[in-house]
Structures are given as C-alpha cells and as structure tokens.
A and B are shown apart, each in its own frame.
Chain A
Amino acid sequence: MIELQNVCRTFIVGDQEVAALRNIDLSFGAGEYISIMGPSGSGKSTMLNMLGLLDRPSSGTYLLDGGNVTDLDDEQLARVRREKIGFVFQSFHLVPRLTAAQNVELPMILAGIPADERKQRVQVLMRNYGLSDRADHKPDQLSGGQRQRVAIARATVMNPSVLLADEPTGNLDRNTGWEVLKLLEGLLEQGITLVVVTHDAEIGARAQRRIHMLDGRIVSDESIQNDSK
C-alpha cells in the first residue's frame, strides 16, 4: 500500500548539494510494523517526512494506496495527510492554548466534520486512552505520558491507514515509554501500518520489519516472522 520507487531527496546547503535520500526503493503492506533506525543524519527523518507527504521527492515516485501522490498540489496533499496519515512526534506538538479534547478535535475541525460527530469521536477516544478526566486540561497540566497519549489520540482520530511516529518515546522515561509503545502497537490490530523512527535499538527491535539507514541509503531491511516479545 506504500511504495517508494527510486526516490531521491537532495537539499541545497550553501552552495553544496546534500543528498538526504539516495535511490530508495521500499514498499510496505497494510498492517505492517516497521522500525526505521540509523544514526542522526542518516536520512531517517527525511524518510519520515517523505512518507508523511510533508516533503516531496526530488526525483522518483511515491505510490500510496495505489495512487501516485508525487505530483499532487497543496490542497490534495493536505487532504491525503488528513485522511490517511497520522503523526506522533517526539516533542508531542500539542497546541498549548487548547485543551486535551480540543487538541484531539483539531484534525476533524480542519476536515470540516460537524461538531456533534466530533464531540462523540473525541469522547470515545479519550475514554479508550484513559484520558476522560483530563479532557479539559491544557497540555502544560498533563504529564509526559498523558501528553503523548493525547497526541496519539489526535493522530488516530481520523482513522488513518499509516501512523508515523518520530522517536515517540524520546522525551519519556522508560516505563512511560513502554506504555506509549504498547498503545501504538495496539493499533496494529486495527490494521494500521505503524512506522516508528528511532535510534534506540531496543525499541527498533520490537518491530517485525527493521530498516537500517546510513547516509541516505537503506543498508539493511530484515523481516522477523516471530515476534520475540
């Protein structure tokens, strides 16, 4: 359902061309659990932005659910992001002025979903994530784990087919990090494709499919059939 064909991404830094992604060929099926690992500067963040349609390839083709999304305009890209892709970030990226419930509601507001339906969906999600009593709290009144749970609720409220998590546990202590990971992994049962970018080998090892990157190239792509954990 996701297919990258010979994708390159180059940046101009000063008067130098820097290649962040070089000739990437990659495809994921629905419901896969993928980790992307590599040292900083290896191109894993660029890869994530590319998969999330925040960045465009300099060359190559990106197919999402069978459709070519390489040459879509801003409006079409926004629509695809809204409907098919969820993001979870290391630093949560919650809007500090809005309550937890309003943060979860935000993607639906942008999508123009009527208020009653939004209320209902937010309520269900908040309950599922154990956040019901935190709904009216502002992000700065929440713990790190609660914040990331709000962020995950926000990322899944539009029922995306792909969830992209960029170091989702990076700002959390070990126990909270595991809880958040379990929450993310629980989404796999609903058929979501989970892509976790991390430099933590322990976390990366939880995925069935582990991709290692170095200097903008995929250096290894191994699938483990038996989940060890």
Chain B
Amino acid sequence: MYLRDLITLTSSSFLTYRMRSFLTGLGIAIGIAAVILLTSIGEGLHQFMLSEFSQFGTNIISVQPGKTQTQGGNVGIFGSVRQVTLEDADALRRLPYVEHVIPGLVGNAEVRYEGRTRRTMVLGEGRDFGKAFTMKVQNGGFWTDADDEQARAQVVIGAKIQQELFAGQNPLGQYLRIGGQRYRVVGVMESKGQILGMDMDDTVFIPAARAMELFNRSGLMEINVSYRADVPAETMIRLIKERMIERHGREDFTIISQEQALEVLSSVLNILTFAVGALGGISLLVGAVGILTIMTMAVTERTAEIGLLRALGAREQQVLALFLGEAIMLSALGGVLGLGIGIGMAQGLHLLFPALPVHTPWLYAVLAELSAVSIGLAAGVAPAMRAARLDPVEALHAE
C-alpha cells in the first residue's frame, strides 16, 4: 500500500465525520497552543533577562576584594582583608589575552554646576571603560590619563546629568563640582536608560584614583578585566587567580565571571520555561484521551468494514496502519492548528502589551508538533491493535 493511498483512505473518514474530527483535533490543538503560548512567554522573558544582563558585554571577569564562599555580597568593603588596588589592576593588565582592565568603585556625591545641584551616583572607573563595556560616548570621550594616582580631575557625565545641570548647553570643557572638587567635563554618555533598576544616565564617571580620594578609600571595589572573545572564561579565571595569589599571598579575593553568572541565570530560566511548558502539556494529555476515545469508537463502528478489508486481502499490519494513520493525522492536524493558535495568541499578546517580551523558538514549535504526533501514535496504538486483531469472520458479520 502506498503512503499516498493511506493518506487518501484515512482522510476520507475525516471528511465524513468532519465535526467529530474537528473537535477531537481541537483537544490536541488547545494543548499545543497552551504549550506554545506559555513557552513563548517563558522564552521571551528568558531572552529579555539575558539581554539585560549582557548589556555591558559578556567577556568580562570581575575581581573583588574578600573571599566569599557563596554568591552573596562580599565583605571586602568593610572587612580587614587586603585591599584590591590600582597596582593590582596594573598587574592584571600585563596578563595574556587581556584587552582592557578597568578599576572600579562606586559612591554617591553631590554634583554642582552654576548653582544647580544634583545628588547622583559617582562611578570611579578606568579610562578604557567605554571600550570594555558596551556603552557609548555620545560627545567628547573618556579621559586619556593612565589609571593611576596622577589621573587628573576629569569627568564623563550621563545623559540625564547633561539635561538637568546644563539644560541644553554644551558641557564639554565646563567645570563641575563633585563633592566639592572641581572636575572638567570631557565627555557625555549616550542615553542608555535603566539597566536592572540602575539609571545609567543619572551617573557621572571619574577616574578611579579620584573616586578613591573623594570617598576616602584606600582600595577598589572591583577590577573588571575584559579579555579576547576566543579565550574560554576558565582559562582567564585561572590566569587572574594565579596573578592575584602571587601578589596577595593567598586567595583573599573573589572572581566573578559574567559568563558563569549568565550560565546560572540561563539554566534557572530554562527550568522555568520547561516547567511552564509542562503545565501546558497536561492539556495535551487531555487531548490524547479524546483521540483514544474517538479511535475506540471508530473501531467499533467500522468493525464490519475491517472484516471486509481483511476479506479483500488486507494484512493485519495494513489495518493497523490505517487506524494508526488516522489517529496520527488527527493529532498532527490538531497540532498544526494549535501551533497557529499558540503563535497567534503570543504575537497578539505582544501587540496588546508591547512590554511583554514573547519569542517562539522554532525548536519548540517543531518539538510541540512532534509531541502531538507521538501523542496521536500513543493514543492510537491500543484501538488500532484491537482493529488489527479482530477475527475477520466475526468482524464481517458485525452490524
């Protein structure tokens, strides 16, 4: 028997029992639609979170003072461990594969310009900040002084600071007062908006050495090391750890790799997406029961026909194939319908609520359709086997 004939024969029963077949297929369609909709939202959230986290760039490893055994905040800021210093940053800069090293610390200070005052976040950074992180300078540029004690009092300001303090004036070359000290404005950042709740536009960037002085600190809060993209994070972590232990004598620092943090986040989000998809899978199960019911009925109704087929020379296998084919076709068509509904609803939601990120990965769509087909197969096996094993004589005389 040719596959095309099998399809013609099985589809003839759909055309006869249109309503019944449609409703049975709908059971599967609702299940598939639920799975697709929920995983689309889950995957959308996933991608949204990842892109939020990786906005700064991904090939960055951070060294922080103090050794932590867990992922919690470190005690280096308040503890008595050895500080991480600008000299440490210089030492890391000489490691292989390193592209940029940015010493960093953060604090709050009052920023004043011609009588206007704003309390804002002050980031002490290195001169390569703009190159290591994916943040662009809109106007001017970062200072070029080396990251050491001699760095002059220069400042790059966020877009919001420019707006609030300079109100449209060109700030380049002007002098700001940050915590009472005079800083010359050398650059304005491009507006970046909020990243994980931090307003990156309401920020000023000054050389790390000046920030240490401003906040009266003798150490850095972190050193960010960006490295070549083709070098694995493990290699880079090992190199940095060796160099730091060499300098400090013991491991009194913590290394956080963005790649590893992303992996953890990603796996958590994957589990979430999977769990949500599994919930939708329950409705698929209900659809499978529908197929089982309809196929059992079909075998009973068509018993005489099965007898006839056997009399005409159909093998048990062919009868099996006909009924299995029908179950699979029901669920496959239901699956396609469900994909349409699911993707349509996901996109519709996105249109209604643009803030809600949705994304339907092709793999999920294919997997959903495959699972619809295998559900049809599983639900169809028992009735189809019963059909195949009917005694031809008894089947023929059933009315």
| A interface, CB within 8 angstroms of B | 49, 52, 54-55, 74-75, 78-79, 81-83, 85, 87, 89, 91, 93, 95-98, 102, 106-107, 109-112, 114-115, 154, 158
Contact = CB atoms under 8 A, between A and B. Distances in A.
Interface in B241-282: none
A114 B2 CA distance: 8
Which of A87, A95, A110, A111 has most chain B Cβ within 10 Å? A110
Interface in B295-329: 304-305, 307-318
B393 A97 contact: no
Given A93-B308, A97-B16, A81 B313 contact: yes
B312 A54 contact: no
B9 interface: yes
B15 interface: yes
Nearest to B397: A45
Nearest to A54: B392
B315 A75 contact: yes
20 contacts: A49-B393, A54-B396, A78-B310, A78-B316, A81-B310, A81-B311, A81-B312, A82-B312, A83-B313, A89-B396, A93-B305, A93-B307, A96-B16, A98-B12, A106-B309, A106-B312, A109-B9, A110-B312, A110-B314, A112-B2
A110 B313 contact: yes
Contacts, number: 72
B48 to A, nearest CB: 51
Given A78-B318, A96-B16, 5 more contacts: A54-B392, A55-B393, A78-B313, A97-B15, A106-B309
A77 B312 CA distance: 11
Contacts of B312: 81-82, 87, 106-107, 110, 154
Interface residues of B, number: 27
A78 B314 contact: yes
B313 A109 contact: no
Nearest to B395: A54
B329 to A, nearest CB: 14
B352 interface: no
B12 A110 contact: no
A107 B315 CA distance: 11
Contacts of B16: 96-97
Nearest to A157: B312
Contact of A79 (B309, B313, B392): B313
B13 interface: yes
B5 interface: yes
B305 A74 contact: no
Nearest to A55: B393
Contacts of B318: 78, 110
A89 B307 CA distance: 12
Which are the 5 A-B pairs with shortest beta-carbon distances? A82-B313, A78-B315, A81-B313, A54-B392, A97-B12
A110 B1 contact: yes
A4 B380 CA distance: 40
Contacts of A55: 392-393
B165 to A, nearest CB: 81
Contacts of B12: 97-98, 102
B68 to A, nearest CB: 71
Nearest to A99: B12
Contact of B5 (A52, A78, A97, A109): A109
A106 B1 CA distance: 10
Contacts of A79: 313
A114 B16 CA distance: 26
Nearest to A98: B12
A75 B28 CA distance: 35
A54 B393 contact: yes
Contact of B396 (A82, A93, A107): A93
A97 B21 CA distance: 14
A115 B13 CA distance: 20
Contacts of A91: 399
Contacts of B393: 49, 54-55
Contacts of B311: 52, 54, 81, 87, 93
A102 B312 CA distance: 13
A54 B15 contact: no
Contact of B1 (A97, A98, A109): A109
A140 B399 CA distance: 16
